[in-house]
Amino acid sequence: MGPSSPTPGTSAEPRAADRDAALLVSLRAGDEDAFATLVTRYHASLKRVARAYVPTEAVAEDVVQETWLAVIDGLARFEERSSLKTWMFHILANKAKTRGARERRTVPFASLAGAEDQPAVPPERFQRPGDAWPGHWAAPPRPWEDPERRLESLEAREHLRAAIAALPATQQAVLTLRDVEGLEAEEVCELLDVSAGNQRVLLHRARARVRSELERYFEETT
Partner 1 sequence: MSADEIVCREFAELATDYLERAMPDETLELVEEHLAMCDWCRDYLAQIETTARAVGAEADAPDTAPPAATLQELLDAFRARAGGGASR
Rounded Cα distance between 206 and 79, Å, is 34
62-91 mask for partner 1 (x: CB under 8 A)?
--xx--xx--xx--x---------------
Size, binding site for partner 1 by CB under 8 A: 60
**In a 3-state reduction of DSSP, which class is residue 109?**
coil
**In a 3-state reduction of DSSP, which class is residue 151?**
coil
Q: ∠ at Cα 18 (16, 19), nearest 5°?
A: 65
Q: Which residues of 60-86 are buried (b: 16+ CB within 10 A; e: fewer)?
A: bbbbbebbbeebeeebeeeeeebbbbb
- Least Å distance, CB 114 to partner 1, is 15
Among 94, 113, 115, 126, binds partner 1 (CB under 8 A): 126
Stretch binding partner 1 (CB under 8 A), from 85-93, 96-104, 106-114, 116-124: 116-124
User: Which residues, in sequence order, are CB contacts of 92 under 8 Å at separation 6+?
Assistant: 46, 49, 50, 63, 64, 67
Q: Based on CB atoms, which residue is closest to partner 1, 3 or 141?
A: 141
**In a 3-state reduction of DSSP, which class is residue 24?**
helix
Among 2, 5, 66, 215, binds partner 1 (CB under 8 A): 215
User: Which residues, in sequence order, are CB contacts of 173 under 8 Å at separation 6+?
Assistant: 48, 49, 51, 52, 192, 202
166-205 mask for partner 1 (x: CB under 8 A)?
---------x--xxxxx--x----------x---x--xx-
Q: Based on CB atoms, which residue is closest to partner 1, 94 or 213?
A: 213
**In a 3-state reduction of DSSP, which class is residue 156?**
helix
Chain positions contacting partner 1, by CB under 8 A = 7, 10-12, 30, 32, 35-36, 39-40, 43-45, 61, 64-65, 68-69, 72-73, 76, 119-121, 123, 126, 133-137, 140-144, 147-148, 151, 157, 160-161, 164, 175, 178-182, 185, 196, 200, 203-204, 207-208, 210-211, 214-215
